[in-house]
Structure 1
Amino acid sequence: MTGNPRPATPGPKDSGAGTYVLCAGGTGGHMVPAHCLALELMARGHKVHLVTDERGLRFPGLFPGVPMTQVDAASTGRSGWRSLPQVALAIWRGRSTARKLFKDMRPRAIIGFGGYPALPGLLAGLSLYLPCLIHEQNAVLGRTNRYLAPRVRAIATSFRQVRRMEGSWQRRAHFIGNPVRPEVLAARDVPFDENAGRLKILVTGGSQGAAILNRVVPAAVGLLPAAVRAKLDVTHQGRDEDRGAMLAAYRAAGIEPVIAAYFPDLPAQMSASHIVIARAGASTVAELAVMGRPSILVPLPIATDDHQADNAAALVAAGGAQMIRQDEFSPERLAEALTGWLADRKALSEAATAARAAGHPEAATRLANLVIATGLIA
């Protein structure tokens, strides 16, 4: 069922400093919005504590000065029912660790950001009758959040339309947006230059790169008209093992690309681009919208509940993106999509404006307001 959360109400006045627990781990898609909320709460004078899994402790540059507690967590994943006993035991251990922490801390509220690493902390909070809420980054309510949704006091969403949101949960659902990093908000101030002498394409497949982007994009660029390629710059985030083949394909097309496995200044790279070719993870879609950059999105087909396709579809419906399914993502299809925008600067500019209009730069503020209000409910 598709839900339509109501807009978040104005925030409450803080009644003195309090402690708030954030439960997130696993991937950057969960960790980044939690990090943004932590910054907002701390800026208001509150204390923040992160409950996470082993992977969550390893993210560089996130949660500066925030105390962290690692808890056991697990998922059946591809193992299915055979691993249920071990998974249940890990979650129980994680819940016990978090429960002891919360008894000592007595936080005002606990917020989970989806994914199985958030589950032990939320279960501990619910068992102690503490105010609990969840934030969903994607346009489809994830499995962990679907399990928790009937039990928590509030559900914050990043999209106005959320698939798998049951109608009975609507009274507690609030449209918030997906918080983005301060450096993304700063990049929002960089105007989109439709009159630039050269156009820049940025390709990013996430921290591990995406093999299909590394194969298809250089070949597609080679199919573009020579006059277009002559005024084109390409920056490509790709895996080191693909670098040689990518470089050869780009050079055969007359392009001298910038290729790296990791760009520490990815928001700046994105804001300097005219077209971004990327997967459709929640954070990527949110950042593209906030900065107002046109994109060609290739959803990861194995994403749970095909949620990346829903993420992409929302930005496509707003007019700020094109979507190509992976089974249709060929050099010819991509070249066709690129040509339409590269040959029509007005259409490209209109897509940038539409993407920006779909962004929610205030999401961290709105989420903090909801968290504080939830914590004030007796």
Structure 2
Amino acid sequence: MTASSRHFVLAAGGTGGHLTPAFALAHKLERRGHHVALITDERGAAIPGKPDFLTAHVLPAGRFGKNPLRWPKAIAAVQKGKAMSRRLFESFGPSAVIGFGGYPAMPALFGAQAMNIPTVIHEQNAVLGRVNRLMAGRVDAIATAYPEVDRLKDKHADKVHLVGNPVRPGVLSLREEPFPAFTEDGLFRVLVTGGSQGARVLSEVVPDGLSMLPTALRSRLQVTQQCRPEDLEAVRERYANHGIPAELATYFEDMAATLADAHLFIGRAGASTIAELTAVGRPAILVPLPIATDDHQAANTREIVRAGGARSIRQTKFEAKELAKQIQAMAQRPDTLATAAHAAWNCGRPKAASDLADLVEGFGGADMMDVIRVGENNARGASQGVEAGQGAARERPE
């Protein structure tokens, strides 16, 4: 460690959506010579992908549901977690505490604020989550993944910083690779995933939708699809009946390699999914999860859809005929699919992890970074060196 090294605490709920950007920040801060610790729940402490150097501290965190009769128990858990976090901070001495959403982040942020330790929150979705909404008025900085975030009050604009959503290094490494060649007679590779738990609606609709494509497209299909274990054999039979080659699995170990070959993605619209699609530049047909809190997956699709990099279909309208129609519109000519891929790529924010690290390093060290302050720039590319008001597309490798 260097003489300028400092300590930072990351606090996040125990899901991949919260922890993926936290882990990316941890790697970046550790490489810069800082000590980093994690506060989470039991799920987060055991989740795959946690850096070996990152010590996880499990704190109680109350979950505030719709039933007010359970709130006293939740408040008691938060108070207990807050007290435990303060004891940790007394010994660890963090320069800042960074929350990534989820109820386990709440006691850590409260504890830090009680000790006058600077706090930052990062919002992965295009709708401010419940815990981040509660903390927005109390924290020193708000990092966002999108230029437009619902339920984020205008009065907080001066402390909002657009950084993006950090993605895995393996996926980010594909950003400078060209879009896979898509020709009139070459393979048409389609990747279908439904998030960490899979999505039954994709298993039911996608095989039949692909079978309705014109022969010129259908005969060139090569499908890779993630399915729930209980759906695997039924989906395999559907593809066999349609005569469509398909590789099916419940989990793909190397998603970066799978994404690298894909010409079109079909799936959910979680924050990490959108971040990876835009980092690599892959056109998509997105089916937002209808039960997502505050309909945040639908909000996540806005930027990439407006840019022309994706199409969004509500699950209530996600039927085989509609899917075939949208695929045909996107892939009717090689250049239309490539154009959509470039539009998706232009929405990417490959410097998200570095920009977030720069932001949090502004506490306890150099002056607060202003280059990505949305309140001043309000531009998608502010952190990429694009001046406010410019909407010009960037060039990707051919």
Q: TM-score, normalised by structure 1?
A: 0.93
Could you say which residue in structure 2 is the equivalent of 1:74?
62
Shift of 1:104: 1.1
Among 135, 142, 145, the alignment partner of 1:158 is: 145
Shift of 1:162: 1.1
- SS state at 1:116 partner: coil
Among 181, 184, 187, the alignment partner of 2:168 is: 181
Shift of 1:74: 2.9
- Structure with greater proportional helix content: 1
> How far apart, CA to CA, are the structure 2 residues paired with 1:355 and 1:295?
8
Superposition pairs of residues 207-218 of structure 1, within 5 angstroms:
207-218=196-207
- Asked if residue 39 in structure 1 is aligned to residue 53 in structure 2, the reply is no
Tell me the amino acid that sits aligned with residue 20 of structure 1: F
Among 238, 243, 249, the alignment partner of 1:254 is: 243
- SS state at 2:207 partner: helix
Among 309, 314, 323, the alignment partner of 1:320 is: 309
Shift of 1:312: 0.7
Among 287, 292, 310, the alignment partner of 2:281 is: 292
Contact 2:21 2:167 in 1 (8 A): yes
Among 203, 216, 234, the alignment partner of 1:245 is: 234
Could you say which residue in structure 1 is the equivalent of 2:342?
353
Could you say which residue in structure 2 is the equivalent of 1:3?
none
Runs of 4+ in 1 over 4 A off after TM superposition: none
- Asked if residue 100 in structure 1 is aligned to residue 87 in structure 2, the reply is yes
- Asked if residue 57 in structure 1 is aligned to residue 45 in structure 2, the reply is yes
- Residues 32-62 of structure 1, C-alpha deviation per residue, up to 9 Å, x if partnerless? 0000000110111111101111110121122
> How far apart, CA to CA, are the structure 2 residues paired with 1:117 and 1:63?
19
RMSD, aligned α-carbons: 1.5
Among 276, 280, 290, the alignment partner of 2:269 is: 280
- Residues 92-127 of structure 1, C-alpha deviation per residue, up to 9 Å, x if partnerless? 221121111001111011000011121111111111
- SS state at 1:93 partner: helix
- Asked if residue 369 in structure 1 is aligned to residue 353 in structure 2, the reply is no
> How far apart, CA to CA, are the structure 2 residues paired with 1:307 and 1:207?
17
Tell me the amino acid that sits aligned with residue 50 of structure 2: L
> How far apart, CA to CA, are the structure 1 residues paired with 2:45 and 2:153?
33
Could you say which residue in structure 2 is the equivalent of 1:301?
290
Count of aligned pairs: 364
Tell me the amino acid that sits aligned with residue 95 of structure 1: K
Could you say which residue in structure 2 is the equivalent of 1:171?
158
Contact 1:194 1:348 in 2 (8 A): no
Could you say which residue in structure 1 is the equivalent of 2:383?
none
Shift of 1:15: 7.2
* Structure 2 residues not aligned, in runs of 5+: 369-398
- SS state at 2:33 partner: coil
* Structure 1 residues not aligned, in runs of 5+: 1-13
> How far apart, CA to CA, are the structure 1 residues paired with 2:78 and 2:161?
28
More moved, 268-277 vs 361-370? 268-277
Contact 2:14 2:45 in 1 (8 A): no
Shift of 1:195: 3.0
Among 106, 116, 124, the alignment partner of 1:129 is: 116
- Residues 233-264 of structure 1, C-alpha deviation per residue, up to 9 Å, x if partnerless? 00001111001111111111111211111111
Tell me which of the two structures has the higher relative contact order, counting C-alpha pairs closer than 8 angstroms and 6 or more residues apart.
1
User: Aligned in 2, Cα 1:163/1:15: closer, same or farther, shift over 3 Å?
Assistant: farther
Tell me the amino acid that sits aligned with residue 114 of structure 2: S
Contact 1:154 1:374 in 2 (8 A): no
- SS state at 1:162 partner: coil
Superposition pairs of residues 189-200 of structure 1, within 5 angstroms:
189-196=176-183, 197-200=186-189
Could you say which residue in structure 1 is the equivalent of 2:214?
225
- Residues 62-106 of structure 1, C-alpha deviation per residue, up to 9 Å, x if partnerless? 2232111111113133x5222212211221221121111001111
Among 263, 282, 301, the alignment partner of 2:252 is: 263
- SS state at 1:374 partner: coil
Could you say which residue in structure 1 is the equivalent of 2:130?
143
Shift of 1:139: 0.8
> How far apart, CA to CA, are the structure 1 residues paired with 2:142 and 2:364?
14
> How far apart, CA to CA, are the structure 2 residues paired with 1:15 and 1:280?
43
Among 116, 128, 135, the alignment partner of 2:103 is: 116
> How far apart, CA to CA, are the structure 2 residues paired with 1:68 and 1:26?
11
- SS state at 1:114 partner: coil
- SS state at 1:375 partner: coil
